[in-house]
Amino acid sequence: MMDLSEITAKKIWLAPLAGITDKSFRTICKNCGADVVVSEMVSADGLLLRPEASLKYARFTEEQRPFGIQLFGSDSEIIVKALEVVENLKPDFLDFNMGCPVKKVIKKGAGSALMKDPAKAVLIIRKIREHLSDAIPLSVKIRSGWDIFSVNAIEFALKLEEAGADIIIFHARTRSQMYSGKSNWKLIAELKSRLSIPLIGNGDVRSPEDAIELFETTGCDSIMIGRGAIGRPWIFQEIKDYLSYGSYRELEQRKKFEIIAEHCRLASSEKTEEQALKEMRTHFAYYTKGLKGGSRIRDYIFRNPDLEENLNKVKQLYYG
C-alpha cells in the first residue's frame, strides 16, 4: 500500500461533487493546487448493470493522481463485484460513500442511510477490505449521523476503523441538515482525538482563513473542499500560499479568466457540444456570481446556445 501520508499529511482535497467535479473540473482544481481529487459518486449497481454509463464517472487522467474513485451502494455482494471493475482502472485509493443525503440513494439503503444501520455498514467495509487489493487504501466518507437525535459519527467511525477503513472523511452535518446549518467542527475535533487512522475534515471551508481554522481547531490530518471551489478553483492556490507563507494574494482577474477559458476548452474536448454548453452554463453562473453586471451576463448565457460567445461574455466581466 502507498504511504498514506502521501494523501493525508496536511493535504487539500477536492470533494466529490456530483454534477460538478467531472474530469475537466478536477484537472482545473489540480492545476490550481488541489493535492487529492476524487471522482463523482459512482453506483456499484450501475457499474455492473450499465458499465459504460457509470464508468464515465470513474475514469480519470494520469495527471489527476493521487486519485480516488468514490463508490456508493448497499448490497455488499454487488459492491464486491464492482470492486473488480474499479481495480481495473487502477485508482490510488477507493472512497466509499456513507454520507449522501439524496432521497433516490437513501431509498435503496445507500449513502447516509448506512449511518442508521451500523452493522450493515461494518459488513460492507469488512467485505470491501477483504476483497480489495491490499495496495489500495480505503477511505469512508461519513456525516454526523442521521439526524440531531441520532448523532453517532464517533462510534460509527471507530467501528469502521476496526472493520478495515484506512481513512475517514467527515462532513460534520447530519443527513437531516442536508446542507443547512453549519458543519460541526467540534465533532471533527472529537473524532480526531479518538481515531487512530487519518481523518479528513470537511464542511464550510470557503476561504484560506477557514482552511487554517479547520486544521488548527480540529487537528484533522487533511481538509476537503467542495462548494468553496465551485466558481473559484483558485482557492486551492490561495490556501497553499497561506499555509506556506502565512499570506496570500488574490489572483488577478485576467489570470482567473485564463483558468475559466482552460476549463471551457477541456469541457469542449471531453464532451458533446450540447453537454459542454449545458454544463459550462452552470459553471459560468458560478464564475460570474458576485461580479458587477453578472446577472445580465447570466441571462444572456442561459439563452445563447454558443459556448464560445458565452465564454467571451464572461471575459468582458473579468476584463471590465
Can you give the binding site for ligand FMN, defined by CB under 6 A?
15-20, 40-41, 70, 97, 99-100, 141, 171, 179, 202-205, 225-228
Let me know if 29 is a catalytic residue. Answer: no
Least distance in Å: CB of 82 to ligand FMN? 16
Least distance in Å: CB of 16 to ligand FMN? 4
Least distance in Å: CB of 143 to ligand FMN? 8
- Residue 237 or 257 having the CB closest to ligand FMN: 237
Neighbours of 244 (CB within 10 A): 9
- Residue 74 or 257 having the CB closest to ligand FMN: 74
Indicate which residue of 32, 100, 220, 264 is catalytic.
Answer: 100
- Residue 45 or 313 having the CB closest to ligand FMN: 45
Q: Which three cell numbers stand for residue 109?
A: 439503503
- Residue 169 or 276 having the CB closest to ligand FMN: 169
Hey, is 174 helix, strand or coil? strand
Angle at CA of residue 33, ends 284 and 232, nearest 5°: 25
Place of cell 467495509: 125
Least distance in Å: CB of 94 to ligand FMN? 13
Q: Enumerate residues 6+ apart whose C-beta is below 8 A from 150.
A: 115, 116, 174
Q: 75, 92, 74: which is closest to 35 by C-alpha? A: 92
Beta carbons of 113 and 119 less than 8 angstroms apart: no
Least distance in Å: CB of 186 to ligand FMN? 16
Beta carbons of 291 and 257 less than 8 angstroms apart: no
Neighbours of 305 (CB within 10 A): 12
**Cα–Cα distance, 79 to 133 (Å, whole number):** 14
CA distances from 124 to 117, 135, 146, 167 (A): 11, 19, 18, 15
Measured from each CB, the residue nearest to ligand FMN is 226
- Residue 26 or 141 having the CB closest to ligand FMN: 141
The residues annotated with a catalytic role in the active site are 100
